[in-house]
Amino acid sequence: MSKKIVITGGAGFIGSALARALVARGDEVSVLDNFSSGKRENLQDVTGALAVVEGDILDAALLDRVFTGADLVFHQAAIPSVPRSLAAPLASHNANATGTLNVLEAARRCQVRRVVYAGSSSAYGEPPSLPVVESMAPMPLSPYAVSKLAGEHYCRVYARVFGVQAVILRYFNVFGPRQDPNAQYAAVIPRFITAALDDRPATVYGDGEQSRDFCFIDNVVQANLRAADADGASGKVFNIACGTGTSLNRVLALLGEALGCPITARHEPARAGDVRHSLADISQAKTVLGYTAPVDFSTGLARTLAWFREHRSTR
Ligand SMILES: NC(=O)c1ccc[n+]([C@@H]2O[C@H](COP(=O)([O-])OP(=O)(O)OC[C@H]3O[C@@H](n4cnc5c(N)ncnc54)[C@H](O)[C@@H]3O)[C@@H](O)[C@H]2O)c1
């Protein structure tokens, strides 16, 4: 018999992809989301196949209700944005740090077997060398990064002190279908794709030579599924990425090639709190979790472009 699985932030971009994967393999899934950035339409193809609870991870009584009987919690809920954390640091801290502490406390009370935590590569800041490895000292550069790192530390401590198994996945720049291109601080790939499809210039902060280890959503789903059961993973941190860096100018060039016409860039000043380069060593996730990063960047970009082309009139 399948066991109950809870996804906090399950109406968001990553949480909803995870929900679809779990429903597809027949699991009993409950989504808890306050819909601050998540959307019901992200779950429309699995409506009826899972439970959706509207509420906040800061509500301890609600967490107890949702976590009762759960074997596993994928904790994705957060305010996931560097610029939003610069505009409202306390809100980020409350959702991301205090919210994670609340989730762990409820997991402890409800005897949840394992929590898989959505950490962030922003923990590294500007590292002394690349690629980054999990043993490097974190050096967060924004309130967002601090709040996500605080969540990691709480996970590690709960695993050590309270015996709540907790696995920390440090996602690098995740992209794919359903990522919101219209949010005030939308991620770069959905912004570039929708600008290109609408025949508008793409806004680039800085010179465009900054690079990211972009990671297609299916890879992140695989990492979560493996993290749910892997032996020797609790209390540990894992980079989840592809292990290849791509500059923003290169992303624009690839999109231009795929669409058959170059995309115009409109440059604006580089943003505070952004790092110049980001690149992951993913060998620990490969060894311990059995993570394979199954979809490379260019395949993921092509799939994402195809999805936005198909759905742009309905989003
Ligand atoms: N997308 C990325 O590239 C990336 C990179 C690193 C880490 N992450 C982390 O992955 C997780 C998911 O990010 P995403 O890209 O899917 O973002 P998203 O905004 O699509 O999803 C976050 C979800 O959490 C919900 N939420 C926020 N605050 C909540 C609260 N207090 N109570 C209940 N629900 C709440 C939102 O409504 C939303 O559905 C986040 O924890 C984020 O920090 C994402």
Q: Cβ distance 26 to 53 under 8 Å? A: no
Ligand 1 center–CA 217 separation, angstroms: 13
Ligand 1 center–CA 257 separation, angstroms: 31
Catalytic residues: 144
**Mutation pick for ligand 1 pocket among 58, 76, 239, 251 (CB with most ligand atoms within 8 Å):** 76
Contacts of 215 (CB under 8 A, 6+ apart): 171, 172, 173, 174, 175, 240, 241, 242, 293, 300
**Mutation pick for ligand 1 pocket among 36, 81, 178 (CB with most ligand atoms within 8 Å):** 36
Nearest-angstrom CA–CA distance, 138 and 79: 20
Ligand 1 center–CA 201 separation, angstroms: 27
Angle at 139 between CA 223 and CA 234, to 5 degrees: 35
Nearest-angstrom CA–CA distance, 130 and 279: 6
- pLDDT at position 169: 99
> Which domains are present in the chain?
4-175+214-242+279-294 (3.40.50.720), 188-211+245-277+303-314 (3.90.25.10)
What atom of ligand 1 comes closest to residue 35's alpha carbon? 37
pLDDT per residue as tens, the chain (315 positions) = 568 999 999 999 999 999 999 999 999 999 999 999 999 999 999 999 999 999 999 999 999 999 999 999 999 999 999 889 999 999 999 999 999 999 999 999 999 999 999 999 999 999 999 999 999 999 999 999 999 999 999 999 999 999 999 999 999 999 999 999 988 788 999 999 999 999 999 999 999 999 999 999 999 999 999 999 999 999 999 999 999 999 999 999 999 999 999 999 999 999 876 789 999 999 999 999 999 999 999 999 999 999 999 997 644
Q: In terms of C-beta density within 10 A (0-12 exposed, 13-18 middle, 19 or more buried), how is residue 302 classed?
A: middle
- pLDDT at position 275: 84
Identity of the amino acid at 313: S
Whether ligand 1 lies within 6 angstroms of the CB of 13 is answered as yes
Nearest-angstrom CA–CA distance, 178 and 312: 10
Of the chain, the end-to-end C-alpha distance in Å amounts to 37
Whether ligand 1 lies within 6 angstroms of the CB of 116 is answered as no
Q: Cβ distance 150 to 140 under 8 Å? A: no
- pLDDT at position 92: 98
Cα torsion 50, 52, 57, 60: sign: negative
Q: Cβ distance 85 to 16 under 8 Å? A: no
Ligand 1 center–CA 38 separation, angstroms: 8
- pLDDT at position 106: 98
- pLDDT at position 315: 47
Ligand 1 center–CA 25 separation, angstroms: 23
Q: Name the DSSP letter for residue 208.
A: S
Question: pTM of the full predicted structure?
Answer: 0.97
What atom of ligand 1 comes closest to residue 148's alpha carbon? 43
Whether ligand 1 lies within 6 angstroms of the CB of 79 is answered as yes
**Mutation pick for ligand 1 pocket among 7, 13, 92 (CB with most ligand atoms within 8 Å):** 13
Cβ-count burial 193-213 (b if 16+ within 10 Å, e if not): bbbbeeeeebebeeebebbbb
- Hey, whose CA ends up nearest to atom 2 of ligand 1? 174
